[in-house]
Structure 1
Amino acid sequence: MKPYHDAHVHLQSFPEAMLPEVMARARAAGVVRFGCCGTSPADWDRVIAIASSEPGVEPSCGLHPWHSADPAVPEDWLERLEALLAAHPGLGVGEIGLDALRPDLQAQMRAFAAQLALAARGNRGVVLHCVRAHGEMAAALRPVAKSLPSILLHAASCSPEIWREYERLGACVSLGPAVLNPRATRVRELARIVPEDRLLFETDSPDMAVNGCAVSALGGRNAPENLPRIIAEVRRLRNPES
């Protein structure tokens, strides 16, 4: 069985008692690498703890744009993130980014720029979330892209023209459960056109909904074990005659 890499997952969001089963089922399905992203100071320590106890887990920590104006986030969150990065040389920066469907885009942009600068100074890869703010995101990336060892746009959904801008910046994309939806035309077009060396796959589990995947065994949650289904659909889209 070919080993698989789930490029974007939130293992810390599974109930702690369930995680051993989640990991066992994932490995039985051939998933052996997991890009596990934190979203706020509330879950960063758990992300790091999981990475230290579970083989193949590659951790990143960052302030998700949904939390950029959250009053529950401590004011010194950036200093805390900087300290974590100093303490853990293998730690990436993510999940960070911009979401124009949220009302606080200016606060998001400030948090995003600060985290990009931190990643560039520390030579850390970034994992990006972007919804309807690709112009702003590309503008923020341009000054620092060459200082970032990796740029991953997760759950990518954009036009071919926008993708080409990310490609020029050195980014990769990961495609997730949306590719299973026949109506997700932009995602499915990306599956066809993104070069193989820029293409990764993800489940974004446990919260991302999945079309046509069996999740009942894990209480209705998406999980890394579904990754082979996503990969198979991308392969089918890239090679429709095979």
Structure 2
Amino acid sequence: MKSKFIDSHAHLDDERFNEDREKLINELSGNGIEMILNPGADLNTSKAAVSLAEKYSIIYAAVGCHPHDSKYMNDETMNIFRELAKSKKVIAIGEIGLDYFYDNSDRIVQSKWFREQIRLAKELDLPYIVHDRDAHEDVFKIMKEEHYDGTRGILHCYSSSVEMAREFIKLGFYISLGGPVTFKKAKTAKLVAKEIPLDKLLIETDSPYLTPEPFRGKRNEPNYVKYVAAEIANIKNISVDMVAEKTNENFKRLFCL
């Protein structure tokens, strides 16, 4: 039986899909893609994610504000996220977190809205999806301080150490690996893939970004999640079918699907 895969993070609302979005989505099931989670990055993309999820059975949505755009956040935006989350196809808050690589928003502002959106996840009893770039210690500190019974979610496109991954897992989170694990020089990602148990891993594309080998440099898409699975299978010396089966189970367990 041909494996089915779940892409736990893809931005199909991105403008790079404008020309062929419908065709691409309609072909996904036939190409072995079972489900996709499309997170929001700001108010407009959150609305777009919900619209896509309500149109296509294969897609689920998350709503939230990426740290890049946290400078535009306010209480009204939070209320809109709260309303959007009433859709049955919204299964998480995200993507939220900290980004110290670009610093597009002030770090204090990023931290404020990261905390506020974690509290929204708690209020709505939803998992949350974390973006962490060059901010590992502060992300962990905030997540630990905001921890509550029922905390759960995903460290998306994980880029920190094995040791830190284990600490995030203790907080109730899954570690999601994407295209970078296929890169030859991605020693840390490959070590995480090797050392973290399969029952704590998810796979993703982060489409249209971070395209895996052998398509690096081209637009990424959910069909390529199988290359992430294949690399993890190679590293762990197990079958691709096993990676697909277990990461699918993890996803469905996390989101009660």
Q: Decide: shared fold, TM above 0.5.
A: yes
RMSD: 2.2
Using the aligned pairs only, state the percent identity: 24
- Structure 1 residues 217-228: aligned runs within 5 Å: 220-228=218-226
Instruction: Kindly report which structure 2 residues correspond to 1:4-83, keeping only aligned pairs within 5 A, or say none.
Output: 4-13=5-14, 14-70=16-72, 76-83=76-83
Displacement after TM superposition at 1:226 (Å)? 0.6
Deviations along 1:95-122, one digit per CA (max 9) or x if unpaired, are 0001111332111100100000110111
Q: Distance in 2 between matches of 1:90 and 1:111?
A: 23
Q: TM-score, normalised by structure 1?
A: 0.89
Aligned position for 2:110: 108
The correspondence of residues 1-242 of structure 1 with structure 2, limited to 5 A, is 1-13=2-14, 14-70=16-72, 76-85=76-85, 87-91=86-90, 92-103=92-103, 104-148=106-150, 150-213=152-215, 220-239=218-237
Question: How many matched pairs?
Answer: 235
TM-score, normalised to structure 2, is: 0.84
Q: Contact 1:27–1:225 at 8 Å: present in 2 too?
A: no
For structure 1, the residue ranges without an aligned partner over 5 or more in a row are: none
For the residues of structure 2 that align with 1:202 and 1:76, how far apart are their CA atoms?
A: 31
Q: Is the 8 A contact 1:119 1:148 kept in 2?
A: no
Q: Closer, same or farther in 2 for the Cα pair 1:168/1:177, shift >3 Å?
A: same
Cα distance in structure 2, aligned partners of 1:150 and 1:179: 23
Asked if 1 retains the 8 angstrom alpha-carbon contact of 2:40 and 2:62, the reply is yes
CA contact (8 A) 2:155 2:175 kept: yes
Residues 8-66 of structure 1, C-alpha deviations (whole Å, 9 max, x = no match)? 00111143441122223432321111011010011122111110111121210100001
Structure 1 runs of 4+ aligned residues shifted over 4 Å read: none
Unaligned residue ranges in structure 2 (runs of 5+): 241-257
Q: Which amino acid in 1 is paired with 2:160? A: C
CA contact (8 A) 2:39 2:95 kept: yes
